[in-house]
Copies of this chain bind each other. A is one copy, B any other.
Amino acid sequence: MATVAVQSFVSAPLQVPKVTQFKIGICQLKVTTEKSANIFNARSMIQAAAEQGASLILLPEMWNCPYSTDLFAKFAEDFSDIDSAPSLLMLSEVASSLGVTIIGGSIPEKDAGQLYNSCPVFGPNGELKAKHRKIHLFDMGKPLPGEVQFKESDNISAGEKPTVVDTDCGRIGIGICHDIRFPELAMSYSARGAHLVCYPGAFNMSTGATLWELEQRTRAVDNQLYVASCSPSRDSAGSYMIWGHSTVVGPMGEIIATTGHEEAVLIAEIDYAVIQWTRESLPLESQKHNDIYQFVDLLRESPNS
């Protein structure tokens, strides 16, 4: 037992972004073993989403690379050298040419001899605005009967901080797949004033059926904000079968749009006024008992950050 001094923050007020009502496009794409084909396909689906009016576009976890540990190093890109990073270069170009914001799912990132499972965020000017490295790696313990052992940290290093990014389409928090299992991450995003939390993820058939929708609805309703997820399609290449079912959830836990397990572009309307109505109708934040418990975000820099 140690005594730690922590700063007690109140939640940051919601800022008004450039756009408060917009369409989000979710690209549930099929990942193949050919990186260049994946890049071409992702670009086509981003374009299709933009043609349907999406100004914010979300890609899946590991969209340029099958989820196979032996391929991560080969498919990895260096986020500090975009000109030599074909996947990032495409995202930058397409964001700029279509004038959209892209939450770029994840790809393997290489940095100083380490690999990360990282989400790039591009603004409509093609700028790399942010990067989220998956914090909570999916490391199974003792498999239950019928389960296959899986330990992501054998190949991937963990991110060390939450990521919120101010975009034209609002303040967005990012979690990758297993990050969704930790209520603390979504709580930190909510307290930092996020309108939306995006979870690229590739849940498997077992956890997908039981937890994928549940966790998304929960993070939305407990924090009274929007949640969007994007999975690869089930027929993607890789070492395990993927659940699919990319989804957008509103701040009252309502499913606004969802899809099956096949390749699809999912379009959903988001209206941040609903967050305000929801919070005015039931002010959960002010009902919390900070005399009994406190959630502490150790890395939050200032009360309004």
Give residues in A with beta carbon < 8 Å to B: 1-10, 135-137, 139-144, 147, 158, 160-162, 178, 181-185, 187-188, 210-211, 214-215, 217-218, 221-222, 252-254, 277, 279-284, 287-289, 291-299, 303
Contacts and interface: CB of A to CB of B under 8 A. Distances in A.
B214 A218 contact: yes
A3 B5 contact: yes
B183 A252 contact: no
Contacts of A298: 291-294
A252 B141 CA distance: 15
Given A222-B183, A293-B184, A296-B295, A143 B214 contact: no
A162 B7 CA distance: 23
A223 B167 CA distance: 33
Contacts of A3: 5-8
A289 B1 contact: no
Contact of A9 (B1, B147, B187, B283): B1
Contacts of A137: 287
B135 A292 contact: yes
Given A214-B217, A294-B296, A281 B6 contact: no
Q: How many copies of this chain?
A: 2
Given A1-B7, A6-B4, A296 B293 contact: yes
Nearest to A186: B183
Contacts of A8: 1-4
18 contacts: A1-B7, A1-B8, A3-B7, A4-B6, A6-B6, A135-B292, A142-B280, A144-B277, A147-B281, A181-B284, A184-B289, A210-B253, A210-B254, A211-B253, A214-B253, A218-B218, A295-B295, A296-B296
A212 B287 CA distance: 19
B292 A160 contact: yes
Given A252-B210, A253-B211, A253-B214, A184 B291 contact: no
Contacts of A1: 7-10, 303
A298 B284 CA distance: 19
A277 B141 CA distance: 10
Given A5-B3, A210-B254, A292 B141 contact: no
A173 to B, nearest CB: 13
